[in-house]
């Protein structure tokens, strides 16, 4: 089954404790992206990757890191989480960011709480 | 900077009605526009994608139109059903094909 998976689905942590949220897709997509969703602010793009070893900042990259060492995986790293990073996080992928057939597929989401 | 708005923010209709959701964007230089559905606590499900060169797309009871020059898209839902209750989001892909900007969504309730 073609899908985007995220782990963990739920995470409660404390300020300053490094964490990684994994994202994996099995569709051989080139483009992957991370979003956060907050009430009243909607979905905002954090980082995206056009291909392996190619990443770029979205609208709200502060406090986050990403890496793209393999095509299928795009982990989101919070080196020192803070309470304002409490949010619902989504990973998405599509065939190509520069293609007009660029339909995005989303993972199920990761609900992160930073105390 | 691209901004996307959606009207109305919330909508409640009786079952069977036809309805229209609106999406507006400020920069007409887009690659495509995509409509999503989000159920509470769940991820996003793609409904329709309209390429920048297209005017509309249809899937079952859903029809989405795109007017790039005026910066508008509409999602038409025919014969609404309670199962259509969800939040509907539109997103535009910018002309560089790299960045996606989402609207705040329209929360739809279809009453039996």
Return per-residue pLDDT of chain B as tens, 112 residues. Answer: 889 999 999 999 999 999 999 999 999 988 889 999 999 878 899 999 998 889 999 999 999 999 999 999 999 999 999 999 999 999 998 866 667 899 999 999 999 9
Rounded to 5°, angle at Cα B39 from B37 and B40: 145
B42 touches chain A (CB under 8 A): yes
Residues of B whose CB is below 8 A from A97 = 93, 97-98
B49 touches chain A (CB under 8 A): yes
C-alpha A78/C-alpha B18 separation (Å) is: 45
B69 touches chain A (CB under 8 A): no
- Hey, are the CB atoms on A109 and B42 less than 8 Å from each other? yes
Kindly report, residue by residue over A55-99, the tens digit of the pLDDT. Answer: 999 989 999 999 999 999 999 999 999 999 999 999 999 887 555
- Hey, are the CB atoms on B98 and A109 less than 8 Å from each other? no
Locate the chain A residue with the closest alpha carbon to B97: A98
Burial A41-77 (b: 16+ CB within 10 A, else e): ebbbbbbbbbeeeebeebbbbeebebebeebbebbbe
- Hey, are the CB atoms on B51 and A101 less than 8 Å from each other? yes
Which pLDDT belongs to residue A103? 80
Instruction: Identify the H or E element spanning B52.
Output: none
- Tokens of residue A84, six digits: 């304002």
Question: Sign of torsion, CA B74 A27 A19 B97?
Answer: negative
Residues of B whose CB is below 8 A from A100 = 31-32, 51-53
DSSP state, residue A73: B
C-alpha A18/C-alpha A80 separation (Å) is: 5
Which pLDDT belongs to residue A14? 96
Which pLDDT belongs to residue B20? 96
Rounded to 5°, angle at Cα A71 from A105 and B88: 10
């Amino acid at each position: 089954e073609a899908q985007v998976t995220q782990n963990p689905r739920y995470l409660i942590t404390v300020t300053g404790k490094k964490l990684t949220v994994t994202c994996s897709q099995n569709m051989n997509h080139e483009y992957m992206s991370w979003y956060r969703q907050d009430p009243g602010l909607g979905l905002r793009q954090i980082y995206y990757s056009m291909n392996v070893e190619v990443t770029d900042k979205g609208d709200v990259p502060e406090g986050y890191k990403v890496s793209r060492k393999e095509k299928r995986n795009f982990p989101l790293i919070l080196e020192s989480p803070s309470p304002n990073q409490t949010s619902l996080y989504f990973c998405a992928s599509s065939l190509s960011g520069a293609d007009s057939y660029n339909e995005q597929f989303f993972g199920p989401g990761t609900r992160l709480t930073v105390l | 900077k691209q901004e996307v708005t959606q009207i109305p923010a919330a909508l409640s209709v009786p079952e069977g009605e036809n309805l229209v959701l609106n999406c507006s964007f400020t920069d007409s230089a887009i690659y495509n526009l995509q409509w999503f559905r989000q159920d509470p606590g769940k991820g996003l499900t793609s409904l329709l994608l309209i390429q920048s060169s297209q005017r509309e797309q249809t899937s079952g009871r859903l029809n989405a139109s795109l007017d790039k020059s005026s910066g508008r898209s509409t999602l038409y839902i025919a014969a609404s059903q309670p199962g259509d209750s969800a939040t509907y989001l539109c997103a535009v892909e910018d002309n560089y094909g790299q960045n996606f900007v989402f609207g705040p969504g329209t929360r739809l309730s279809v009453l039996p």
